[in-house]
Amino acid sequence: SRTVGRNADGVVTVGGIDVKTLAEEFGTPAYFLDEADFRARCRAWHEAFREQGEDADVFYAGKAFLSRAVVRWLNEEGLNLDVCSAGELATALAAGMPAERIALHGNNKSTAEIERAVEEGVGRIVLDSFQEIVRVAHIAQRLGRRQRVQIRITVGVEAHTHEFIATAHEDQKFGIPLADGQAAEAVRRALKLDGLELIGIHSHIGSQIFDTSGFEVAAHRVVGLLKEIRDEHGVELPEIDLGGGLGIAYTSEDDPREPQEIAKALRDIVHRECDSAGLAVPRLSVEPGRAIVGPTAFTLYEVGTVKELPGLRTYVSVDGGMSDNIRTALYDAEYSVALVSRASTAEPMLSRVVGKHCESGDIVVRDAFLPADLAPGDLIAVPATGAYCRSMASNYNHALRPPVVAVRDGQAREIVRRETEEDLLRLDVG
């Protein structure tokens, strides 16, 4: 489904348009998102879970990247949406996502966020703490509603990923530990509150994970809790959500699982566990963000200063940096990079692609080979920047955040426009 290639002149094309034309029209740095690929990935997830013969829901994790166009695509492709702030909720509603297909997350949802979500009638709120169980119940009751909720638990598995994005170990801010009967106690309390309709248990073990075994352990433990609940309360909760976190290929060393594979692994384990516990199989949902949007976009930069440090490496400075991709600085993330505005047969040179910000940690690609004839004005592209790049972009050094341009069938249009100096100054009311 990817529509990236090179034309006869050696210029990379996406969705039928070459990158030089795109750079002229939209400037650099800019994110170019392949709409056909995004939609194909939505369909692949949707079908992988439906294929298993039962109802299952895919909630796209909006934190990876959210805009009104994205919400419309999700809607058209039959996906639901996970939001974790009032801003994401507002974007979802503004673009016409039906509230009942929205899930609200967060470890510290404000009263205003909870009220808005309950009033709008979101399909579920994922409860993250004992205090929040009470808070949401009171708000729902005050508004005369019964809110559908799941309880997020931490199942205590070690996800093999960066510490900052691993979320299933117990010593952290998210969720209620399964350990010491805490999750069971949370369920006990939630079942007693009139404002809540407890529909299921939620687990999210972390992000950028390649191994399905962590999900399997999580599924095993979540079903174990469902069984405990059935035994204690005579209630079979109808849903479980196993979160997001499926890894993508940032470099050729990464070997991601396909949605079909993860769907099958999850289904198999849930079925097996439910059968042996004598439970009806609950409705399953998942929340992929990165795996849907990550591979669909690349960042296009123009090369500026090229500084060769003999015996060390060559520093290639681009017109963006940590303001449009913080992931390298924050998580030691690895990316690849390629010269895309022309072909080159020059020798490869060991390069470090850096931004234009005022600190030495401002690295986009730590180690990469670029052709030795690379020169100012060349265009280079960093693939797989669809997730957590624009959504985590900043105005550091008063950088203007780049646009997101959707490309499809020879047409390109901004779905998020480039920021301007007026945008910056509009907020500066001093």
Q: What is the set of active-site residues?
A: 358
Tell me if 327 contacts ligand LLP by CB under 6 A.
Answer: yes
**DSSP assignment of 394-420, as one string?**
--GGGPPPPPEEEEETTEEEEEEPPP-
Please name every residue paired with 47 in a beta bridge, in sequence order, or none if there are none.
Answer: none
Shortest reach from residue 103's CB to ligand LLP, in Å: 9
Report the relative pairing of strands 102-104 and 124-127 from DSSP bridges.
parallel
Tell me if 408 contacts ligand LLP by CB under 6 A.
Answer: no
Q: Is 287 annotated as a binding residue?
A: yes
Q: Is 313 annotated as a binding residue?
A: no
Q: Is 253 annotated as a binding residue?
A: no
Hey, which bits of 234-387 come out as E strands? Answer: 239-241, 283-286, 297-309, 313-318, 338-339, 348-354, 363-371, 379-383
**DSSP assignment of 150-200, as one string?**
EEEEE-----SS-GGGB--SSSSSSSEESGGGHHHHHHHHHHH-TTEEEEE
**DSSP assignment of 8-43, as one string?**
TTS-EEETTEEHHHHHHHH-SSEEEEEHHHHHHHHH
Q: How far apart are CA 139 and CA 137, in angstroms?
A: 6
Tell me if 203 contacts ligand LLP by CB under 6 A.
Answer: no
Tell me if 324 contacts ligand LLP by CB under 6 A.
Answer: no
Q: Is 163 annotated as a binding residue?
A: no
Tokens of 210: 């390649």
Q: How far apart are CA 272 and CA 353, in angstroms?
A: 48
Q: Please answer whether residues 65 and 390 qualify as being in contact, where contact means their C-beta atoms are separated by less than 8 angstroms.
A: yes
Element (H, E) at 4: strand 4-6
Shortest reach from residue 318's CB to ligand LLP, in Å: 19
DSSP class of residue 105?
A: -
Q: Taking CB under 6 A as the rule, which mask of x and - marks residues 269-298 in contact with ligand LLP?
A: ------------------xxxxx-------
Which of 56-64, 112-120, 191-199, 226-234 is the region at the interface with ligand LLP (rule: CB under 6 A)?
A: 56-64
Q: Is the dihedral of CA 194, 199, 201, 207 positive or negative?
A: negative
Would you say 60 or 301 has its CB closer to ligand LLP?
60
Query: Among residue numbers 91 through 110, which ones bind ligand LLP (CB under 6 A)?
Result: 105
Would you say 243 or 295 has its CB closer to ligand LLP?
243
Shortest reach from residue 83's CB to ligand LLP, in Å: 10
Q: Taking CB under 6 A as the rule, which mask of x and - marks residues 75-94 in contact with ligand LLP?
A: -------x------------
Which of 243-251, 265-273, 274-282, 306-314 is the region at the interface with ligand LLP (rule: CB under 6 A)?
A: 243-251
Query: Among residue numbers 293 through 312, which ones bind ligand LLP (CB under 6 A)?
Result: none
Which of 6-14, 143-151, 202-210, 301-309 is the region at the interface with ligand LLP (rule: CB under 6 A)?
A: 202-210
Residue from 15, 62, 214, 244 touching ligand LLP (CB under 6 A): that is: 244
Q: How far apart are CA 149 and CA 196, in angstroms?
A: 7
Tell me if 64 contacts ligand LLP by CB under 6 A.
Answer: yes
Instruction: List residues forming the annotated binding site.
Output: 245, 287-290, 327, 331, 359, 388
Residues flagged as binding site for pyridoxal 5'-phosphate: 245, 287-290, 388
Can you give the binding site for ligand LLP, defined by CB under 6 A? 61, 63-64, 82, 105, 165, 204, 207-208, 243-246, 287-291, 327, 331, 387-388
Residues marked as binding for substrate?
290, 327, 331, 359, 388
